[in-house]
Every structure is written in C-alpha cells, then in structure tokens.
Amino acid sequence: MQPQKPATRANLYLALGSIALALVVALVWARYDSGSGLILKVRRQVSIGDALAPTIAAAMIGLGGVMVLLQRHAAEQPGLSLANLRFLTRFLVLCAVSFALMRWTGPAVVAAINLFGEGDLSYRLLRDTAPWKYIGFAAGGTLLITVLIADIEGRLTARSVIIAVLAIAALIALYDLPFDDLQLPPNGDV
Amino acid sequence: MGVSDYIWMGIQAVFQGPEAFSILGLSISITIVMVLAGFMLGIVVGATPGLAGPMAMAISLPILISAFGFSPDALLPVMGFLIGVMKGATVGGAVPAILFNTPGTPDAYMTTLDGYPMTQAGQARKALKIAHFSSASGDTFSDVVLILCAPFLAVLVERYLDLPEKTALLILSMAFIASVIGGSVGKGIISMGLGLLAAYIGTGEDFYPRLSMGTQSLAQGFPVATAVLGVLVLGEVFKSLEDLWHHVRADDRPTEPRQSGDQRLHWADIRRISPYIARSAVIGTVIGALPGIGSTLAATLGYSAGARRHARKYPDRVKFGHGAPEGIAATEAANSSVSGANLIPVLSLGIPGNAAAVFLILATESIGGFNPGPSVFKFTREAINPELVAAFGLFTTMMVANAFNWTIGGAIMRAAGVMVRVPKHILLPIVLMLTLTAIYVQETRMQGIWFAIGFGVLGYLMRRVGMSPLPFVIAFILGGKLEETARQAFAATGGDAWFLFTSPMAALFMGLAVLFVAFSLRRPTEAEK
C-alpha cells in the first residue's frame, strides 16, 4: 500500500535516466576505464577488447530506455513517490548507524577497559574469543531489528528488544557456535 | 561405461554416500537426511507468508558449505538439501492459501480461490489433501520429464552447436527472459543490461580490471552471492518492510473456521481431479522448461484451462472459484510441475530459468567440481565422468524428495499451518539480519554488506518502477559466460564480425531473439492490462 500516488511520468523519467546512463557508460566509462578498446589488434590477430562487453550492456540499457520511452503515455505507471524516497533514506541511515555500532562497539569497549583499568588489551587479538567477538554483532544487530520492529509498530516496546536479542542469539547459535571457520560481523575487518 | 552404469552409480552415490547414522544396522546416508531436512524446511518456509524458497536456499548456502566444505562429497548433500527446500516450498505455499486465504507463495494465489471457500465450508483438511496429492503428482511428472529430456537435449547441444551457435543461444535465452518476465519488455531489457554491466565491472582479459575507476573495491568485481542476495532477497525485504510500515499493522490475526464432515480423500475424489492434474502437469512442465517463465503463470494457465473444461463438462458441479476441489488440483499440479522442468535449461544448457535455479547454480559454483551445462552429459566409455554420476545423483535426490513428499509431505503440510500466525513485521527484520549475516560470513568484510545493501536498494527501486529483478540476476550470472563464448567464437571464426549470422543455426537463434522482443512490444503493457 502506498500513501502517495506515484508520478504518472514515471516511464518518461525511467527512460531518460536509462538513456543517459547508457550514453555515459558507452561514451565515457567503458571507453576510458577499460584496458583495451572494442577491438584489439595484436600482430595482425584481431580479438574482442575489454570495452566491447560493457558497451553492449550499455546499448541494451539504452535500447530498453527507448522502448520504455514509447510507453511514456501509459496510464497508472508504477514509479517512485517521495514517500518511497523518504523511507529509503531513513532505512539507509538506520543501516549506517547499526553497521557503525557493529564495527566500533567491540574496539570501543576494549579501549574503555584499557582506559579505566590496568589492562593492555587489543580487540584484534580478542576478536576470535567469546564474549568479545559477539559484542559488536549483538549491539548493531539488536539495534537494527529493534528499530525496524518499533518503526512498524509505531512504538518502542520491551517485547521488540527481547525479540531482537533472541534473534541475535539464534543467529550466533546458527552461524558461529557450530563452525570455527565462520566469522560474524565485524570480526573479519578489525 | 554404459548409460545404465552411470544411472546405477548416481543412485549409489546418494544411498551409499557418507553415513549420517544407522537404524538396525541399516546405513542412512547424509544425503538422504539432508533431502529430508531441506524438504521439511521448505514446507515451513512456503507456509510462512513473506518467506520464499529461494530466500531459505540463499541463507542456508553458507551454512551448508561450512558444514560440508568444498569436496566432491559435499555436492550431493548440499544440492539435496536445496532441492528439498525448492520442492517443499512449492507444497507449503498452499497451506496458508487454503487455511487463511493468504497465499504463502505468489504461485499459490489461485489456490485461495477454491481452497479458502472449502475451508469456510468445513472441508479444510480435505482441501489440503487435494492440494498435496495434486502437487506431488505434478512435481513427480515434471521430474520424470526432466530426467528424460535434460540428457537428450544436452547431447543435442554438444553435438550440433558450435561456439557461434552457443553464443547465439545464450543471447536468445536472455532476450526471451527479458521479454517474458514482467509487464514491459523495455524494462526487462534495462534490467538485463544492468545485470550485464554489473557482471563486467572489475573483470576482463587486460591487466587493468575494467570499469574499476582505479579503486581496489571495484577491481575485485561484485561477488555473485552478494549481488544475487541483494537484488533478489534484500530488495524484496526492503519493499515488504515499507509496505508494512505504510500499512500500520491492523490486528488481522487469522481465524480458522470450524471444520466438520468427511475429510478423507477417496478414490472417487482422485478419479474426479485426475484429468485436471494431468492437464495442469503438462502445462506446468512446458512452461517450466522455458527459462524465465515462473510458476505463477503456470498456475494461472492451469487454473484457466481447468476452469474452461469444468464449465463445459460439468456445469452442475461446484464452479471454479466457489470451493471446487478441481480448482485446487488444477492450480497446485501446474505450479508444482514447474520446479522439475525448470532444471531442464539449467542442466542441459547451464541457463538458470528462475530464482531457485539461480541458487542451485550458485551452490555448484561455490562447491566446484560440477558445472551445469551440456558438458555434464558426456557418456564417456573408458573413464568415469564424475559430473555425469553427480547429475544422476541429483536426479535420485529429486526422486527421494518426491518419495518424502508422497509419504510424509501431507502430514508436515497440515502441521505447518501454524506458521501463518508469525507476524510479518517481526519476521522481516530478522530475515534481513539473517541475510546480511549470511553475506558477511562468506565475504568477511563490511564492504560486502554495503555492496549487498546497494544491490538491495537497486532491487527495491526495480520493484517500485515495475521492473523485474530476475533478468538482472540471470544476466549477471551469464554475463561472464556470454563474453567468454563470444571471444572464443570470434577467434575461432578468424575475427569475423558477423559470426553470429554466418551459420544458419546461429542466425536462426538471433532472428528468434529479435522476434521475441518485437512480439513482446506488441502485447499490452502493465498499465494497459
């Protein structure tokens, strides 16, 4: 269900966007960002160059754009509304905050312990040890699930937090406990 | 080595593979256990509105690969599990459709039309039994056609098609998929072009990874699992989350009407629905063998064909749409018979035709040692072709899954009705986190998660503008193969720029590709329907 009716010129915008993308890819990106051109001649031997395949892909996008342009007057075209873009922005911000929390909570806790205690710990050395390896994943994952549930329900409840914690525990049990070779986020990066 | 030797070795590979446990001295192989586990999971997933078989396949894959590794012994248990999920999800989709008027999978929509009226009339268990019988019949028929046709088609392709023809066949398949999926051929072609473009980033034969803009991130290209999971699974999750968010959740907890009367499936019932099952099984198998046409269209065509026959022959019986058992049979036989036939282009040509097939190809690529395509079916006489043994092993796992379906599928299906009560707004954020974790454990870098989110946004935008993401995914998977075949064909023909048109067969394929696109332009668009 959508709160706002999408623009009726959605096909026109999609067509123009596709044609513009096709032109940029074919004339600029594929041409100047490939190691060889469309056709490669080495010692009178002709072969296909690296730029040909992306140029053909661009031609496909352009051709599709022209076809959609022919349907620009169709009624009730599915398209993007401002509400869609607002949702997407809010969602991406939530992802960014959750992933940042996931990435930095573990090292931050270790730094705090080093700051206030006597220890000289390194998260990099602890990242394969419980409970350190779960701190970031649990913090970021719980936030992501809780906020999404709360956002849809329109209120933050203890139930949504408990569900998120249980879900994260289940994911740890599924991906980490049985396997030594799998790393939960963010332990492959730090 | 004769054909029968290969078939026997394939069967043995399944039943005499690594042992999981033994009962009274009888060894039960791990492959059989995995087929059963996948089948049960598939029914549960199919019975849960908001989840789908390909989603479960995608999320299971890294766990399966970690558990079984990359050895040749891993292939049959992993593929057996995924095939079990694929088959189980098809059966499970009918459960919420019949019990709660909510299709578990899109292809079960037509099942609601007759299934739910039967539930309202107190005949829910009977409706489920009809759905199960029809689904298992259609699925088994489709598998038999697959087993008979795929090797034959593959041998024909290897014998008669050279490099230019194979290139033209790939182009024809992609043109066909772009034309038939979704409401607009233009949007299908844009989706395909974007998939090809994404596949070519960070690849190529030159020392410099093309389209990488000099960055290390793009120079490695996009991992297949990240792109596929992003566009197919995350894109759908984003869209469903937004739909839920706008539709501030009302308390629409489903209720089950009181059941009464005879709930058994009698021989008279089976005789009554058999013609509908037979007709729909043929329709579904033909549709399934064509890449890109999904089970939803098969279900619609099967239902319409059944409805016409019913109105003509039995005007006095309960009409389709008012609780006719024949309506459930026609729909379920049609959508279930797509799953086996869908593997015909995968195994004989290496071309995935739907999302489930994409994940099967992804699994074979991850494990290695089995490359779906015409080269699998080389009946070598002196040395054993391990890929051919694996192919017959896969056919055996499909038959094992069918055996589970016939014996215990109905009981699991009825028990899975409880899944419809799981609230979607709680399920989707967990599925999102599950998918992101599945991607990370394969990529082990946060950048992989961001790439997946990026592809998820692309999948979301595609769905919002009415563009199917399936041509994107199929083009992404086939892009590398298409370029490699074209390069080889170009070199083999001595640099002939017209190599796609010089042989009659290649020219025919190219002509058909143009015809499909041109013909699709003439059909009504999504807005005019």
Q: What is the mean pLDDT of each run of 10 residues along chain B (529 residues)?
A: 88 90 88 96 87 86 86 90 93 86 76 90 90 95 92 86 91 87 86 96 92 92 89 90 74 59 83 94 89 76 89 88 92 90 87 84 87 85 88 95 93 83 86 91 89 96 92 90 93 90 93 90 55
User: Between chains, do B246 and A83 touch, taking CB under 8 Å as contact?
Assistant: yes
* B256 part of a folded domain: no
Is the CB of residue B487 less than 8 Å away from at least one CB of chain A? yes
Residue A79 near residue A14, CB atoms below 8 Å = yes
Q: Evaluate if residue A169 carries a pLDDT over 70.
A: yes
Q: Which residues of A touch B188 (CB under 8 A)?
A: 64
For the ranges A41-55, A135-149, B309-323, the maximum mean pLDDT occurs at: A135-149
Cis peptide before A131 (omega within 30 of 0): yes
Q: Which residues of B touch A133 (CB under 8 A)?
A: none
- Measured CA to CA, the distance from residue B146 to residue B395 in angstroms comes to 9
User: How many C-beta atoms lie closer than 10 Å to residue B244's C-beta?
Assistant: 20
pLDDT digits (tens, 9 = 90+) for B95-126: 888 888 877 677 788 898 899 899 888 888 89
- The per-residue DSSP string of chain A comes to --SSPPPTTHHHHHHHHHHHHHHHIIIIIHHHSSSS-SEEEETTEEEE-TTHHHHHHHHHHHHHHHHHHHTTT-SS-----HHHHHHHHHHHHHHHHHHHHHHHHHHHHHHHHHHHSS----HHHHTTSTTHHHHHHHHHHHHHHHHHHHHHHTS--HHHHHHHHHHHHHHHHHHTTT-SS---TTTTT-
The predicted complex's ipTM stands at 0.92
For chain A, what are the domain ranges?
Answer: 10-70, 82-175
**Residue A83 structure tokens:** 């509400």
Size of chain A in residues: 190
User: How many C-beta atoms lie closer than 10 Å to residue A5's C-beta?
Assistant: 9
Residue B503 near residue B165, CB atoms below 8 Å = yes
User: Between chains, do B197 and A25 touch, taking CB under 8 Å as contact?
Assistant: yes
**Residue A96 structure tokens:** 């960014």
Q: What is the pLDDT of residue B120?
A: 86
Q: What is the pLDDT of residue A128?
A: 85
Return the higher-pLDDT residue of A114 and A59: A59
Q: Which residues of B touch A185 (CB under 8 A)?
A: 436-437, 440, 446, 449
pLDDT digits (tens, 9 = 90+) for A95-107: 999 999 999 999 9
Is the CB of residue B496 less than 8 Å away from at least one CB of chain A? no
Residue A1 pLDDT grade (very low, low, confident, very high; cuts 50, 70, 90): very low
Q: What is the pLDDT of residue B250?
A: 47
Q: What is the pLDDT of residue B424?
A: 82
Q: What is the pLDDT of residue B108?
A: 80
Return the higher-pLDDT residue of B468 and A163: A163
The nearest alpha carbon in chain B to A146 belongs to B429
Q: What is the pLDDT of residue A2?
A: 47
Q: What is the pLDDT of residue B342?
A: 85
Region A168-173: what's the mean pLDDT?
Answer: 94
The nearest alpha carbon in chain A to B174 belongs to A60
- What is the nearest CA distance from B363 to chain A, expressed in angstroms? 17
Query: In one letter, which amino acid is B112?
Result: T
Q: Evaluate if residue A41 carries a pLDDT over 60.
A: yes
Is the CB of residue A17 less than 8 Å away from at least one CB of chain B? no
Q: What is the pLDDT of residue B527?
A: 44
Q: Which residues of B touch A107 (CB under 8 A)?
A: none
Q: Can you give the residue range of the structural domain that contains B136?
A: 3-249+266-522
How many structural domains is chain B composed of?
Answer: 1
- What is the nearest CA distance from A130 to chain B, expressed in angstroms? 17
